[in-house]
Amino acid sequence: MRIPIRYIPFIIVFAVVVFGAAAIIINYQNKKLIEAGIMRKRALYFFKRKYIFKSKLLDLKSIYDAIDKSYMDSEGIVCQLKESQSSIVMWGKSVDNETTVVFTSKGGKNYDVEFEFYVEDVEGYPIERYINVFLTSVEKAFEQLDPDYKGSSEPFLK
C-alpha cells in the first residue's frame, strides 16, 4: 500500500504537531517538578558526568534512610540499599535499566560517592528525569545530614 504523495505534507505536519505537543508537556511537567523541589535544573547532558560527594558521614544506611523515596515511588523509581556492595541502586520500573551509586569509605571518616550514569535511554525511553529526581534526592540527603559536604562533578571517559 502506497501513500499518495498529496498526503505527505499532512503527515509531516501531524508528526511535527505530535512531537511539539509531547515536548511542551514534558517541559511543563519538568518545570513543575523543579518548582516543587523534586528535581533541580541541570545542564544539558548532566547524566554524562560523574558526581562526587565528599562527606563525613559514617554509614551507608544513614544516607539511604535520608533519601526521600516518596516521590520516587510515585514516579516509578525503585531505590534499594545493597550494603554488602556498599551501593545504593536505582532503576525505573518502566525502564529495564539499573543505575548504581557506589559509596566508598576511606578510613571510616569520609564517603566518596560516585554516580556514573551510562545510558541516555533504554529502547528509546529517556531516563533523564529518573536520574535527575534520584540525584536531587541524594543531594538533599547529603545536605540534610552534613551541611559541609563537598560536591563536584567531572566528565567521565567511557
Give the count of domains, the chain.
2
Half-sphere exposure of 97 (CA within 13 A, CB side): 16
Q: Is the pLDDT of residue 56 over 80?
A: no
Domain that holds residue 2: 1-36
pLDDT reading at 69 higher than 60? yes
70-90, pLDDT tens digit by residue? 777 777 777 787 777 667 777
Query: Residue 28 has what pLDDT?
Result: 93
Position 79 scores a pLDDT of 79
CB atoms within 10 A of CB 84: 6
Please check whether residues 68 and 89 belong to one and the same domain: yes
CA distance 40 to 79: 19
Say yes or no: 62 and 131 in one domain. Answer: yes
Whether residues 18 and 46 share a domain: the answer is no
Note the pLDDT of residue 116: 53
* Contact by Cβ (8 Å): 100, 112: no
Q: Which residue has the higher pLDDT, 96 or 91?
A: 91
Residue 107 region, left (φ>0) first, then alpha (ψ -120 to 50), else beta?
left
For 55-77, what is the mean pLDDT?
Answer: 75
Do 122 and 62 share a structural domain? yes
* CA distances from residue 114 to 41, 90, 99, 151 in whole angstroms, order as listed: 20, 13, 11, 10
Q: Are 57 and 127 in a shared domain?
A: yes
> What's the CATH number where 109 sits?
3.30.310
